[in-house]
Amino acid sequence: MPDDPRWLEAMALMEVSNAAMERGDVTECIRSIDRYYKMLTRLVDDPNAAEDDRAGAMEILDEFIRIARTATPGALRALDRIVNDPYADGIRANAEKSLAGATEQISGWLG
């Protein structure tokens, strides 16, 4: 394991994210993933970090971005269908909340 303590933070954030997902807490899951992404970005951008740490963080970010680009459009379309489904009364509020949270996070990532 790399010496940089940010790797421990990254693992802890993924554990928080996984636990939140298991509880059905999408907001906390997204928040944890956002913090994970930002921590890895800081590690990549840190000129004082070991080159292996920076390269490892960049590799994870590249994979993260690839997965997000693949999965996000379908997930957003599914949420949008639920939000606009007149028969989805029981889950519409959760879908609206999830869609709003995802939109906010994506906007933050795009600057």
Nearest alpha-carbon partner for 35 in 63, 56, 64, 55: 64
Q: Where are the alpha helices (DSSP H) in 24-88?
A: 26-45, 51-83
Domain spans of the chain?
6-110
End-to-end CA distance of the chain: 32
pLDDT digits (tens, 9 = 90+) for 5-40: 889 998 999 999 999 889 888 788 888 988 999 999
Residues 32, 38, 40, 41, Cα dihedral to 10°:
160
Mean pLDDT lowest among 9-18, 40-49, 94-103:
94-103
Extract the tokens encoding 51.
């080159």
Residue found under tokens 């554990």: 15
